[in-house]
Structure 1
Amino acid sequence: MTVRAQKFTPEVLLSAPRRSAGVPNADGSSVLYTTSTYSFETHAKTVELRSLDTKTQESRLLLQDNSISEPLWLPGEKEVYACLKSEDKGKTSILISMIMAGSSWKESTYTAGSIDAPASSLKITQLSEDSYAVVLAAQSSADGSLYNSGTAPKTQSTGKLYKSLFVRHWDDYVTPQKNSLWYATLTKAKDGKFELSKWVNALKGAGLESPVPPFGGTDSFDVSKSGIIFVSKDPKANPALSTKCDVYYIELSSFTEDPAPKPFEYTTKGFKGASASPVFLPDAKKAVFLSLSGAGYESDKSQIFLVEDLKKDSVKRLFNQKTEGSLDKSPQNLVFSHDGKTLYFSAEDQGYGRIFALTSDPTNGEVLRALTDTGYVSDIHPLSNGDVFYTSSSLVDYSSYSIIGTSKSESRAAKWTHSSSKDGSSLGLKASQVSSIRTPASDTTVNKTVHSWVYKPSNFEEGKKYPLALLIHGGPQGAWGDSWSTRWNPAVYAEQGYVVITPNITGSTGYGQAFTDAIRKDWGGAPYNDLVNVMDWVEKNMPEVDMTRTVALGASYGGYMVNWLQGHDLGRRFKALVCHDGIFSFAGGLLATEELYFPFHDLGGTPWYSPSANQTTDDAKQAFGQTSLDAWNKNDPSRYLDHWQTPQLVIHNEKDYRLCISEGLAAFNVLQARGIDSQFLTFPDENHWVLAPENSLVWHKVVLNWINKYVGLPAYCEDDEESADFFGGLKQDGGKTVEMPGMGKPET
């Protein structure tokens, strides 16, 4: 392979150490974390467990072991920590270790106990001076027993019979096995070492599942000396038609009770959507959690609820009306200060992921303050002295740990920080490459302007013209933020020589709930017009951009928008397009998805209602209302195929059960049949995303080669048989699609 890029490249992106969220001890003097590094030379991943001294900034290697994960401090300890270790045949051990000067990790580490299954989401809380409660997640069979796929008996047939909705989810077929929370105790023995008691399934016989799949983890539950609080999908609601998750509490006195007490359910009147992020107050007598009002809308505004008495169904909204109006954003990552007087959380806000502090004032009621300005916060840990430790990233920095003061007299600048990439300089990136623009919004009733990030090459020269790469985000209720990504990183394109623009069009999060909601039933309307306005504004106001050399790329909803561009005038302004896992047809794509509540909500109802027909009422209609087919029809890309003519790369993965691979194949087939230059890339082992480093490298090679050839930039690399199996594609007829007999050429 001949790589021509000299600076930040996909190889640099994918081989850079991926640092976990930092876990500080109580006073913030030491931070535990893991780094995962992939080598394209050895084709192997290396995981390191490390500790960082916040005073000296010295990072110490504790262990290099790919089976280690989720380190955390034992509560009340400054040097003793626990972590998970994956063993043979799916077994998971809990290791206890102590950071001691002059001692090796092996000398200070021992196994406290294990669970005979793959496990994750470790949480520990202190019960007494010598004992701790331990809770983790592992799968259970229908009878509540522990399930290990590696040791379970194998069936002779691979057939799966389903009799209701929700056949598969994300990238797996739904099985009888469910996630469960398991608890035990760590107790100090006479020799000073901790021993683990037997595990108890907290959810046995309850008909509940937690953490909530596919992405639920420690954010699905919390543990205190009084018990476990958790969220679970409502077992009475169909998961394909409803987002409803409820909050439950299991009261435990010793964490040895077997069987576990029956979970107590809390109700949130008028809120029928998903609940999340349950967190105990430090006194373990109260708790808070997040909840959404709509049963089919994942991107509604999160509301904070307070459980005033854990033993009673006493739930109330935490925000008062005055405070509510000051934060038109969705809180996440709830966590309390050590004294319980301040609730911290993060929220998307104008392209950033900021930390907010909510305190109670005797005179003014609840007071809300922002603690950070830039970057994107992903994890928050209050310290014992009142400061806050947090993990964040930015568009040029893949991992930063910081400590910030929280008193009103202190500035929002971090008083301590540690950047893994030295603020991007080790990658050849710098903050001055990133700026913002504001362009007219097409729907001024919700927002006057649309915010876009602009990313320029590190060697940018005034007076020189550069091609434009327009990146369209997914969701559609999502946003481009000041955050790092290993899948869609603007720096990769900027360092090829593009000016990159990432617009947060109608439907984006972090710019007010009305702006997020405005995309409903209008996928191809206001968002498309926002993109038109962005391109018009750039042409008039950014002379550094060569508007004769532009490309557009998008994934998921962004992929839908690429297909939509193909059928509309804006598509003709681009030299080439890239559609990753996008929607081709609403009937074929959205009705084959697993979470049907998503299209039913976003498009205003089910597509089988006709005002003139005498139709029976079904579950979907009751949940989402009856609508005409207007929203489904007018926003469907497949209705405009006669206008398709821009060269397009289509990428779609076989394990994408959110949007089936037939969507990508249909788009590619149309492009080929119409004689339009096109390519199709697929990964049989990837889902809606491309996560494996080797696959991701191939993805980047193909994408960059595709767009570069249309804007006059050098190919990123030579075609390489080791990178992918190019069956009659890249080199066929000099890289051009062969025109098929009897097929007309694209319209001019």
Structure 2
Amino acid sequence: MTLKATKFTPEVLLTAPRRSAALPSPDGTRALFTVSTYSFEQHKKTSQIRVLDIASGQSTLLVEDLNSSEPNWLSDDEFLYLKNGDKGATSIFVGSVSESSASSHYEVSSVNGGISNVKVKKLPNGTTALAVSALATPDGELANPDAEKKPYSSAKIYTSLFVRHWDSWVTENSSSIWYAALEKRDGKYFLGGKGLVNALAGTKLSSPVPPFGGTGDFDIGPLGLVFVAKDPELNPAIYTKTDLYFIPLTTFTEAKPPSPKIVATPGLHGYTSSPVFSHGGRKVAFARMRSKQYESDKPRLLLLPDVDDVSKVEEFYATHNGEGGWDARPETIVWSADDSTLYVTAEKEARSLVWEFPASPADAKELPAAVKAVEGSVGDFRLLSDSSSKLFVTSTSLIDNSCYSVVDPSHNTAAIVSSNSKQGKTFGLSRSSVGEIRFKGAGEYEVHALVMRPSNFDHSKKYPLAFLIHGGPQGAWADSWSTRWNPAIFAEQGYVVVSPNPTGSTGYGMALQDGIKGEWGGRPYNDLVNCFEYIADNLPYVDTERAVALGASYGGYMINWIQGHPLGRKFKALVCHDGVYSTLNQYSSEELFFPIHDFEGTIYENREGYEKWDPAQHINSWATPQLIIHSELDYRLPITEGLAPFNVLQSKGIPSKLLMFPDENHVSISELA
């Protein structure tokens, strides 16, 4: 239950039930989802698997267990889910939504390791293909670090780049995809063949791609498995290149899988994502970037027309100059029931929208149209049913942390099935608090910003300003929910919140995004100066004499940069969360391709490019009180990037405070639930 309060507070934010994306049943009548909550009174987290009746919007509890997760439909009534056991083991369970008690659920199999990222697919022979991810040892066996014998020494020895990633040290184990067939006998499912088989054993390939790879990195179809993996010949610290592979499988009981076939994409050598089989099973839609050293390059939407020939791939909106005719970044991909249409999510000016394409690049004569029926941003979407022309959409907004809707793309309409916060009412929030502004950037371009006002806003009053700076830098503030940086939290404390999307931001075309290359403290900083001036001149209800600025990651870098420049004197206080103190320390990070791209070369080839935008070069001008927040498990920007600016502030006698989390990673300060 949400903590009772008279207004939206951090406590309410953290205790509000958090729902997963919902998965509709094959017949489109029900949807599975999980929900977790945290209680400050009991200091306890709970987790449930529930089923939603799409017609009524009412849900029913199926499983209440912190160790149970990832429900997937096996039929219109039966569902599969995972349950974590002792010493790192995982069990696969099956239950029925028509049974009111979880006691009727049964274990299909138990494996001595942690498995996750479940996908299932009904096969023509009547069985169900199952694919999961799990760690594999160098010899291809299932790894279970929790059950391994502890070494006598804690020493770690490395002889090549990429020794740690995100919040853990790299080990010899790697992520892999495992497959099996679920067969049914006497009314119950069991794993056919020899159980889970490592699809990537002996290949040097790893998938899903860490640290955030999941079910979007692979797909299963009636003819086999497609997956994305890093190029094993390139060092992952230096290159972003990932390739798409196809493994032909017919029964998913094959004890030894065929060798993966690499899908050729001439001219595109960057990150690959979102492979999805057509319903017919022969075609695969996916996305791929051009640059092999730019993690935020523009993905191109691609089609593999026939998995029997992985050498022929077609690109949507291809152009002779290689830039591509659609200036957007495709993400999630869904095929229509008849395989004639592709639905794709992509950002557009602070919102994630669904776009509609013909399923063949040859038929894509016009740029795609956006389906704008959903308020806020689309987080996940599926076909409503196996034969439906409608979509079941999971979305969030600045006022609603979870909304399920049925969308009809042909009429651009949406019917809300269930809103977790009753469209913000539970939190005391409404769309009337949300606004936006546009102002001139540092060049001949416009910059967009979101504005969040208090729920009791009065135009005749003046409010202090909370000026939020996003991370990335290739990212954006969006009309979507966040438990880390939630504008409504600041607004309900009495601030007007302005969240600008300056140079470097995604969703406004590649020219604005790529304009940050070699300009970390240049164009973006000047955009923010213009934003502050616009607020002072055009928003009479904002008191810019009482302003604070806050940012994380690249936003934290910008806070430290602002601290040493004139804009820093405009604020009463600054907040830097997991930020950059010195750009000369970028090689203490793990993914070196990031500074190599953004600072236009290695630090030994272009030291001047790193020095030019170094906040530490301007500490003589630091004067504004500042809060530093940093985490010891932040291997993207190590803890010293927080300690150094704090020590400078303290040494100079500038009011300052350090908040350190010993068990958190980069920008993921404890979310409790």
Q: State the TM bucket, normalised to the shorter chain.
A: over 0.9
**Structure 1 vs Structure 2 CA RMSD:** 1.8
Structure 2 counterpart of 1:436: 436
SS in 1 for 2:588: coil
Structure 1 residues 344 and 9, CA gap change in structure 2 (3 angstroms):
same
Structure 1 counterpart of 2:446: 449
Structure 1 counterpart of 2:616: 638
Query: Which moved further from structure 2: 636-645 or 278-287?
Result: 278-287
**How big is the shift at 1:326?**
6.4
Q: What is the CA–CA distance in structure 1 between the aligned matches of 2:366 and 2:26, rounded to whole Å? A: 26
Choose 1 or 2 for highest CA Rg. Answer: 1
Structure 2 counterpart of 1:25: 25
Q: Deviations over 1:41-100 (max 9, x none)?
A: 1111100111111111111111211111111111xx211111111112211111111121
Q: What is the CA–CA distance in structure 2 between the aligned matches of 1:5 and 1:523, rounded to whole Å? A: 41
SS in 2 for 1:436: strand
Amino acid at match of 1:353: S
Structure 1 residues 367 and 450, CA gap change in structure 2 (3 angstroms):
closer
Of residues 159, 184, 187, the one that matches 1:192 is 187
CA contact (8 A) 1:360 1:366 kept: no
Structure 1 counterpart of 2:128: 132
Structure 2 counterpart of 1:737: none
Alignment of 1:221-370 (within 5 A): 221-321=218-318, 327-359=326-358, 365=365, 368-370=368-370
Say yes or no: does 1:87 pair with 2:79: no
**How big is the shift at 1:372?**
2.1
SS in 2 for 1:689: coil
Structure 2 counterpart of 1:395: 398
Structure 2 counterpart of 1:714: none
**How big is the shift at 1:691?**
4.4
**How big is the shift at 1:233?**
0.5
Q: What is the CA–CA distance in structure 2 between the aligned matches of 1:27 and 1:126, rounded to whole Å? A: 14
Amino acid at match of 1:649: L
SS in 2 for 1:354: strand
**How big is the shift at 1:250?**
0.8
Amino acid at match of 2:515: A
Amino acid at match of 2:335: F
CA contact (8 A) 1:38 1:693 kept: no
Say yes or no: does 1:481 pair with 2:478: yes
SS in 2 for 1:187: strand
Q: What is the CA–CA distance in structure 1 between the aligned matches of 2:459 and 2:363, rounded to whole Å? A: 54
Of residues 560, 575, 579, the one that matches 1:578 is 575
CA contact (8 A) 2:38 2:46 kept: yes
Q: What is the CA–CA distance in structure 2 between the aligned matches of 1:21 and 1:599, rounded to whole Å? A: 34
Say yes or no: does 1:653 pair with 2:652: no
CA contact (8 A) 1:357 1:370 kept: yes
SS in 1 for 2:70: strand
What percent of counterpart residues are identical? Answer: 48
Say yes or no: does 1:178 pair with 2:195: no
**How big is the shift at 1:5?**
8.2
CA contact (8 A) 1:130 1:188 kept: no
Q: What is the CA–CA distance in structure 2 between the aligned matches of 1:292 and 1:313, rounded to whole Å? A: 18
Q: What is the CA–CA distance in structure 1 between the aligned matches of 2:338 and 2:4, rounded to whole Å? A: 56
CA contact (8 A) 1:671 1:677 kept: yes
Q: What is the CA–CA distance in structure 2 between the aligned matches of 1:170 and 1:631, rounded to whole Å? A: 25
SS in 1 for 2:331: strand
Structure 2 counterpart of 1:380: 381
CA contact (8 A) 1:559 1:582 kept: yes
Q: TM-score, normalised by structure 1?
A: 0.86
Q: What is the CA–CA distance in structure 1 between the aligned matches of 2:492 and 2:300, rounded to whole Å? A: 41
Amino acid at match of 2:53: D
Of residues 531, 535, 541, the one that matches 1:534 is 531
Q: What is the CA–CA distance in structure 2 between the aligned matches of 1:113 and 1:341, rounded to whole Å? A: 38
Amino acid at match of 1:127: L
Query: Which moved further from structure 2: 249-258 or 133-142?
Result: 249-258
**How big is the shift at 1:114?**
2.3
**How big is the shift at 1:314?**
2.6
Structure 1 residues 328 and 367, CA gap change in structure 2 (3 angstroms):
closer
Query: Which moved further from structure 2: 489-498 or 84-93?
Result: 84-93
Q: What is the CA–CA distance in structure 1 between the aligned matches of 2:670 and 2:599, rounded to whole Å? A: 33
Q: Deviations over 1:478-522 (max 9, x none)?
A: 000000000000000000000000000110000001110000000
Of residues 110, 119, 125, the one that matches 1:123 is 119
Say yes or no: does 1:215 pair with 2:212: yes
Structure 1 counterpart of 2:418: 418
Structure 1 counterpart of 2:601: 605
Q: Deviations over 1:407-453 (max 9, x none)?
A: 2xx1x230343211000100111111000000111121xxx211000
Q: Deviations over 1:106-133 (max 9, x none)?
A: 3542111122211100011112464111
Q: Deviations over 1:620-675 (max 9, x none)?
A: xxxxxxxx433212111011011000000011100000001101100000000111
Query: Which moved further from structure 2: 164-173 or 353-362?
Result: 353-362
Q: TM-score, normalised by structure 2?
A: 0.96
Structure 2 counterpart of 1:709: none
Structure 1 counterpart of 2:458: 461
SS in 2 for 1:315: coil
Unaligned runs of 5+ in 2: none
Amino acid at match of 2:191: L
Q: Deviations over 1:711-732 (max 9, x none)?
A: xxxxxxxxxxxxxxxxxxxxxx
Q: What is the CA–CA distance in structure 2 between the aligned matches of 1:497 and 1:531, rounded to whole Å? A: 22
Structure 2 counterpart of 1:736: none
Alignment of 1:5-84 (within 5 A): 6-74=6-74, 77-84=75-82
Q: What is the CA–CA distance in structure 2 between the aligned matches of 1:129 and 1:237, rounded to whole Å? A: 40
Of residues 682, 685, 694, the one that matches 2:663 is 685
Query: Which moved further from structure 2: 302-311 or 236-245?
Result: 302-311
Q: What is the CA–CA distance in structure 2 between the aligned matches of 1:541 and 1:109, rounded to whole Å? A: 61
Structure 1 residues 367 and 341, CA gap change in structure 2 (3 angstroms):
farther
Of residues 617, 641, 644, the one that matches 1:666 is 644
Q: Deviations over 1:130-168 (max 9, x none)?
A: 411111001111111111111112111110000000010
SS in 2 for 1:162: coil
Amino acid at match of 1:378: G
Structure 2 counterpart of 1:147: 143
SS in 1 for 2:650: helix
SS in 2 for 1:331: coil
CA contact (8 A) 1:303 1:317 kept: no
Q: What is the CA–CA distance in structure 2 between the aligned matches of 1:440 and 1:366, rounded to whole Å? A: 30
Unaligned runs of 5+ in 1: 610-627, 697-748
Q: Deviations over 1:671-703 (max 9, x none)?
A: 001110000110000001234345x9xxxxxxx
Amino acid at match of 2:621: H
Q: What is the CA–CA distance in structure 1 between the aligned matches of 2:354 and 2:402, rounded to whole Å? A: 16
SS in 2 for 1:335: strand
Say yes or no: does 1:163 pair with 2:141: no
CA contact (8 A) 1:468 1:550 kept: yes
Q: What is the CA–CA distance in structure 2 between the aligned matches of 1:343 and 1:366, rounded to whole Å? A: 14
Q: What is the CA–CA distance in structure 2 between the aligned matches of 1:208 and 1:531, rounded to whole Å? A: 43
CA contact (8 A) 2:55 2:417 kept: no
SS in 1 for 2:604: coil
Q: What is the CA–CA distance in structure 1 between the aligned matches of 2:230 and 2:259, rounded to whole Å? A: 16
Q: What is the CA–CA distance in structure 2 between the aligned matches of 1:322 and 1:234, rounded to whole Å? A: 26
Amino acid at match of 2:314: R
**How big is the shift at 1:365?**
4.0
Amino acid at match of 1:428: G
